[in-house]
Each structure stands twice: as structure tokens, then as C-alpha cells.
Structure 1
Amino acid sequence: MPKEIPAPAYTNPRGIPQAPFLESVGDYASDEADATLLLRNLQERLQKYQFMELTTTSRIRGLLDKIPDMRKSLEMVKFLAERKDAFDTRYELNDTVYAEATVPPTDKVFLWLGANVMLEYNIPEAEELLKSKLDGAMSSVDQCKEDLEFLRENITTMEVNTARVINWQVEQRKLAAK
């Protein structure tokens, strides 16, 4: 029976465990069967890291898609806060359909919150909400990028561990053949 791979000594701030580095494969496997089990365990862990990498990359992409819309909304709220008189504008009804409107001075805006929910806000409240959402999204992107770097390092460690076990197996077969 192979010796268990040690529990992670470190996890990053979001709880992703650090991959262990196997100094000596012989410490964890004594024969071909142990090495095969160890290899299966390592490959399973590697797949988990790769899945986390995929989901983190997807999350970054989603956030980066939303940030320009958040900025645009914040700029519009600031624009409305500065306007003290009516103005004419064209706005998009659909992908290719635009309409014209005269916008009177206002101190209220409606914001889509998602899930078909729209709420009315005073302009200062809307600006504060949009700033906090934008700051949160930017912070999440930074955290995801840190996680992605951490995951890539751990994927490399797990790939090296896997290669070391395979090389150990080849070496053991050569010794057995002599």
C-alpha cells in the first residue's frame, strides 16, 4: 500500500491548496502497484487543478466582459448628475434600432440589477453603488489573476511529480529486468 501524499502545508487566501512536491518517489511507492496508485492519485489532483484553472479563467473572462458596461453606466450617471438642463440624445432600442429622445434634468436613475430586476436610485446612491460594484469587479479580477498564477505553479508541480513517478517506474522495470 503506498504511503499517502502529505496534506497541503499551505493554501492561498481563497483556499486553494498548494501541491506537494515529491522529493523521492521511493518514499511513497515500494513496487509497481503502489506507483500506479500514486500516479492515479497525482493525475486526479492534476485534473482538479486544471479544472480550477479553467473555471478561474472563465470567471476572469466574465468579469472583463462586465467591467466596460459598469464603467459606461457609471460615466452615464456622472453625466446625468452634471446636467442641469434638458438635452437631446439617441439611444439604442435593439442591436440595430435607435430612437431619439429629449431627457429632462433628473435626480433619479433606474439601474438593472440582473434577473430582470430594475430599481430606482437617487443619482448619488447610484454612483456609489456603481463605484462599489466596479471596485469589487476589479478586485475580483486581481484575485483571480493571483489564483491563476498560483494554479499554474501547482499544475507544473503536479506535472513534474507525475513525470518523476513515471521515470521511477521505468527505472524499477530496468532494475527488475537485470
Structure 2
Amino acid sequence: MEEKVKTCEPKKKPEVTKKSEDEPKEGSGADGATKPHMGIPPAHFVEDVDAFMALPENGGNADKVLKKFDEQHSKYKFMEFNLTAKKKRLKNQIPDFQKSIDMIQVLAAQKNKKKDLDTQFLLAEQLYMKATIPPTDKVLLWLGANVMLEYELEEAMNLLKKNLGAAKKSLEIIENDLDFLRDQFTTTEVNRARVFNWDVKRNKKEKA
């Protein structure tokens, strides 16, 4: 999300609070307990393969169990894809928030000096235009979805700092979830290999 200072006459903002779409939402189960790691199901290590394969839901059917592991692995890959996309968006948003905060600090300093500010603004990619900004106590922020609202400088600064903090927190959560997912990948792959080897040994015994 990129916020830019504009000089057009704005509409007054409504009292609306909007959360970033990339902010992780904590899931909750039927008992109201919070699910860790965005509801990512943990992969449990199969320590005793014989006992695991003897479970009623497995019934000694290696093909069935291997298929379950493959499906589980595919689900983890899908989750990884979504989290990686969110991480990329957040890493792009964070510098934009910081640049907007820096710009508001400059505007606040110029307001106190009561001097015009000569600057350049991005008109298109690789194209900038010169502009003169008179002292002001208001800015317009892009909120996304073609929505622009007017804020007092202090109010805009507080909002941007809040959004920056939320984006950093969300990024940290997503990075932790990706680390957790990598562990689940490893556990699932190890479980699959152990069941596959168990099936190979069983087939050799049956043929002997």
C-alpha cells in the first residue's frame, strides 16, 4: 500500500477502521481455543511403523497411507504458496509505510518553519514532476481500492505507525508459520519414506 501526499480537495473521512488483508487472523476451534500457526495441521512423526500401519484406519495398506502422505504434502505446498505471496506483499508494504512516515515528518517540519517545500513526486514509472507544497496540517492517504481520505498530520502519523507495526508483526507471524511448515514438510517426507521402506521389506518377506 503506498500513501502519497496530494493537493486536491478531499472528502472528509468516515469513522472507519480497516484491517490489512495480509494480517494473519487467529483461527479458533469449537472450544474457542486459538489454533497455533494459522491452523496449519501438524505432521506427527511415525516412530513405530508396525503399530502405525496396524491402526484400523490404515489396515496395513501401504498404498493408501502413502497417498494420504502425498495429499498432506500437497496441502502444505498450497499453504506455503499462499503464505509466501502474503510475505512478499508485506515486504513491499513496509518500506512504503516508512516512506510515508518520513514524508509526514518533513511536512510537519515545514509547517513549523512556515516555508514552502520544493519537491518531486512520482507521476509514472521513471517519471517525476516538480511541485511546491505550501505549509499544511493535512494530508491525503491512499487506503487502497481507489479510496483516499484526509487526515491531520498527527493523525496520519499515528495511523501509519500503527499500520507499520501491524505489518511487521504480521510478517513475523508469517515467517514463523513458514518455518513451521518446513518442519512439517520434513516430517511428512520422512514418514512417507519409512512407510515405503516398511512396505518393501514386507513384500520381500512375503516372496521369500
**Do both share a fold (TM > 0.5)?**
yes
By how many angstroms is 1:67 displaced? 1.0
In structure 1, the partner of 2:192 is 162
Given the alignment of the two structures, is residue 82 of structure 1 paired with residue 82 of structure 2, yes or no?
no
In structure 2, the partner of 1:129 is 159
Which is richer in helix? Answer: 1
Q: Percent identity?
A: 44
TM-score (norm: length of structure 2): 0.76
Rounded Cα–Cα distance in structure 2 between residues aligned with 1:96 and 1:82: 28
Please show how residues 136-155 of structure 1 align to structure 2 within 5 Å.
136-155=166-185
Rounded Cα–Cα distance in structure 2 between residues aligned with 1:13 and 1:25: 27
Rounded Cα–Cα distance in structure 2 between residues aligned with 1:101 and 1:29: 72
Is contact 1:86-1:103 (8 Å) kept? Answer: yes
By how many angstroms is 1:94 displaced? 1.2
Given the alignment of the two structures, is residue 117 of structure 1 paired with residue 147 of structure 2, yes or no?
yes
Is contact 1:74-1:127 (8 Å) kept? Answer: yes
Secondary structure of 1:91 counterpart:
strand
Rounded Cα–Cα distance in structure 2 between residues aligned with 1:83 and 1:133: 24
Query: Structure 2: which amino acid aligns with 1:54?
Result: F
In structure 2, the partner of 1:19 is 43
CA root-mean-square deviation:
1.7
Rounded Cα–Cα distance in structure 2 between residues aligned with 1:58 and 1:98: 30
Which sections of structure 1, spanning at least 5 residues, go unmatched? 1-10
Which sections of structure 2, spanning at least 5 residues, go unmatched? 1-34
In structure 1, the partner of 2:23 is none
Compare relative contact order (CA 8 Å, sep 6+) and give the higher one, 1 or 2. Answer: 2
What's the CA shift string for 1:80-133, capped at 9, x where partnerless?
111132121122211133222211000000000000110000001100010011
